[in-house]
A and B are shown apart, each in its own frame.
Chain A
Amino acid sequence: MTEWLLALVPVWGLWLVGATTFLSCLALPVPASLVMLAAGGFAAAGDLVLWQVAGAALAGAVAGDHAGYLIGRRAGAAVLARLARAPARAAAVARARATLHRNAAATVFLSRWLLSPLGPYVNLAGGATGLPLVRFSPAEIAGETLWVAAYTLLGYAFADRIVALGGLLGNASGALAAGAVAVLLGLRLRGALRDRAT
């Protein structure tokens, strides 16, 4: 599918770039980072224009994130309410909401670029827990701008090494995201151990 999608970049150009970042923000398995790298590379070759590539990618990503947020708000809130019917889980849901809302700016910002595989789930969680848009959108736009700029500029600069770069960045961001989740879960486990000890 990656081959096929890359073949469409010079044909459909900006529309394809925007559609790919949009879908990737909804956790659909499309290689958005590779498409952005390739589009940056095509800009270096003169087939596309760099600022237009970045603009299309950013528009798609911002629209996708907000679509995920709205889905969370519409469907996720009901799921959370059902989960919270059991008193034990109600406490956990309340705690998770409080934690997310306390660290909203950093969580949203970092899950756009540094921990980008986690982005779609943060969108859903933000919508489902009723995080206000005025707190979601600024961090979201700032983070996506960084993500889009990094990938399109890297593609522009290393146009001859896109496939290698895509593989390396994909693995590295997977490692960072999984590592961040492991650290958070590890902290919870340590907290649980302490609670028991005292």
Chain B
Amino acid sequence: MTAFARLWRAHRWLVVAFCLASLLALGFGARSVLSWVYWSDPARRDATLEGWMTRLEPGEGRRLTLAGIAEARGVPLAEVEEALIAAILAAREGR
């Protein structure tokens, strides 16, 4: 009887658990490497704007999230995001 067959007979659940854990480790490892490669591209580093983000501005008090600003102005979130992106690009040009 081969070593594997012996293990399978005596410790079936241990073998199954070992295979599952190894597969999980490989899967997560592959995903880590892929996301590392993906985010290494400088073009992808600019984060997409999300409704939960707040604007960087000096001053006291709690800041509004982008979604909050859109709501206060009564315009869609996309409009606030567009204005913000235009402002960021303008600031980069000026640098």
* Residues of chain A at the chain B interface (Cβ within 8 Å): 3, 6-11, 38, 42, 45-47, 160-164, 167-168, 171-172, 174-175, 178-179, 181-182, 185-186, 188-189, 192-193, 196
How long is the Cα–Cα vector from A167 to B18 in the complex, in angstroms? 25
Contact A178 B28 (CB under 8 A): yes
Other than the given A179-B25, A189-B11, 7 more pairs (CB < 8 A) read A46-B56, A161-B47, A171-B29, A178-B24, A179-B21, A189-B7, A189-B14
Q: How many residues of B contact A (CB 8 A)?
A: 33
Classify the interface of chain A: helix, strand, loop or mixed.
helix
Q: Is the CB of A192 within 8 A of B28?
A: no
Instruction: State which of A47, A172, A192 has its C-beta within 8 Å of the C-beta of B62.
Output: A47
Q: B14 is contacted by which of A161, A175, A185 (Cβ under 8 Å)?
A: A185
Task: List A contacts of B32 (CB < 8 A).
Answer: 168, 171-172, 175
In angstroms, Cα B24 to Cα A161, docked, is 26
Q: How many A-B residue pairs have CB under 8 A?
A: 97
User: What residues of chain A lie closer than 8 Å to B6, measured between beta carbons?
Assistant: 193, 196
Residue of B nearest to A188 (CB): B14
User: Across the interface, do A182 and B52 meet the contact criterion of CB distance under 8 Å?
Assistant: no
Contact B22 A171 (CB under 8 A): no
13 pairs across A/B with beta carbons < 8 Å?
A10-B52, A45-B63, A46-B63, A160-B45, A160-B47, A171-B31, A175-B32, A178-B22, A178-B25, A178-B28, A182-B18, A192-B11, A193-B7
Q: Which residue of B lies closest to A184 (CB)?
A: B21
